[in-house]
Amino acid sequence: MIKNSEKAHKSNILVVDDSPVNLRLLVNILKQKNYEVRPVPNGKLALNAAQNFPPDLILLDIMMPEMDGYEVCQQLKLDQRTKQKL
């Protein structure tokens, strides 16, 4: 049986992808499953979003211009606010 406090908490998912089509698709699927979704189109915005409000989960595209997914992950691991989430 699910407790009221568990029902009230929506898992927070940060979705990072430079493709608007992929972002829309993932956001729609996850919202239908009742997740709180925060889409961002690039690595720099992903870092800011994760540092300001650490998500429960990050879906991270690897192939992105300027800062790829590996670089984003590396920066998240270096930051005290986000390293425990990885």
pLDDT per position as a tens digit, 15-70 = 999 999 999 999 999 999 999 999 999 999 999 999 999 999 999 999 999 999 99
Q: Answer whether residue 85 is part of any domain.
A: yes
Residue-range definition of the domain harbouring residue 82: 43-86
* CB neighbour burial string for 11-36, b if at least 16 within 10 angstroms, e if fewer: eebbbbbbeeebbeebbeebeeeebe
Q: Answer whether residue 10 is part of any domain.
A: no
Q: Answer whether residue 23 is part of any domain.
A: no
pLDDT per position as a tens digit, 25-36 = 999 999 999 999
- Report how many domains make up the chain: 1
pTM of the predicted protein model: 0.85
Query: Higher model confidence: residue 78 or residue 84?
Result: 78
Q: Answer whether residue 35 is part of any domain.
A: no
